[in-house]
Amino acid sequence: MGARSKIGVLALAPLAVLLGATGSPHCAHAQWWDNVPRKIPLTAKGEPDLAAPAPRTKDGHPDLSGIWNPHTNKYLRNIAADIKPEDVPFQPWAKKVADERADGSHSREDPDANCLPQGVPRIGAAPAPWKIVQTPDLIVVVHEAFSLWRQIFLDGRELAANANPTWLGYSTGRWDGNTLVVDTRGFNGKTWLDQVGKPTTEKLHVTERYTRKDFGHMDLEITIDDPGAYTRPWTVKQDLTLLPDTELLEFICNENNRDLEHLPGKPLQ
């Protein structure tokens, strides 16, 4: 570690503490001393230029690599926050379940509150950053939330019909111009799409369309196709921001989950 970098970090520490009271500067100083941003375009002032053009890989596709973060808990709370409630095409049973859960009275039954995986796409809306590691045939998404991961295969493979149901499903991807299209199937039907409790079934098929608009911003369009719970596919949009100056940290949710006993609802079966 260079003396200069240490001095620089120490000099920034009071600022980080000051900002901590009012905001979230996402400093990485506490983990790696020499966390020097790499391959990050800078403005004339030397700050990360989040409006710079999106990078590309050697094979010409957009390079989605980086650490991404939702702005707020908005879509974690309600994936349909930006659409009209009546535009969520619930089947009657799913509407009944969602209505029963919506006032929070079943919150103890939310897998997320039990430190179980959030499912897809909810895990991407959880307020913890996640990292895309991109290769030509495989994209790995490392989620800080609960220290989980996803694999997105771009090598043309197809999901077996008898794949064992899972929390995060099995993902394949392809490029549609500048957009990465990810199809995920093979879910276990246990996850809630959001905190207010929209249900899923094993028939869930999620299509995510990732478009990196510039260096620091990515659009995400999500289509929920679950013929077990909804009458037709429905689509929502989210947006993500690059975090240029942090790293992922371990997050073991069940370390000390004291919240569960204070939440209303039955213990998860």
* Sites of contact with other proteins (CB under 8 A): 13, 15-31, 69, 71-74, 76-78, 80-81, 85, 98, 102, 104-105, 107, 110, 112-113, 115, 126-128, 144-146, 195-196, 246, 249, 251-260, 262-264
Strand partners, 240: 70, 218
Question: From CA 50, how far away is CA 53, in angstroms rounded?
Answer: 8
Q: How far is the CB of 191 from other proteins (least distance, A)?
A: 13
**What secondary structure does DSSP assign to 221-252, as a single string?**
EEEEE-TTTBSS-EEEEEEEEE-TT-------
Cα separation, 106 vs 38, in Å, equals 45
Please say whether the beta carbons of 80 and 94 come within 8 A.
no
Single-letter amino acid code for the residue at 245? D
Dihedral sign for Cα atoms in the order 204, 142, 174, 62: positive
Q: Which two tokens mark 38?
A: 């790499």
CB of 125 to other proteins, least distance (A): 10
Cα angle value 13/19/23 (rounded, 5°): 140
Query: For residues 69 and 200, which CB has a smaller minimum distance to other proteins in the complex?
Result: 69
Nearer to other proteins, 47 or 100 (CB): 100
Indicate the residue among 78 and 172 with the shorter CB distance to other proteins. 78
**Residue pointed to by tokens 């899923």:** 200
- Select 141 or 152, whichever has its Cβ closest to other proteins: 141
CB of 106 vs other proteins, minimal distance in Å: 9
| DSSP-based three-state secondary structure for 254 | helix
At closest approach, how far in Å is the CB of 175 from other proteins?
Answer: 31
Task: Give the nearest distance from C-beta 202 to other proteins in angstroms.
Answer: 23
**What minimum distance in Å lies between the beta carbon of 217 and other proteins?**
17
Q: 27 or 139, CB closer to other proteins?
A: 27
Comparison of 63 and 245: residue with beta carbon closer to other proteins: 245
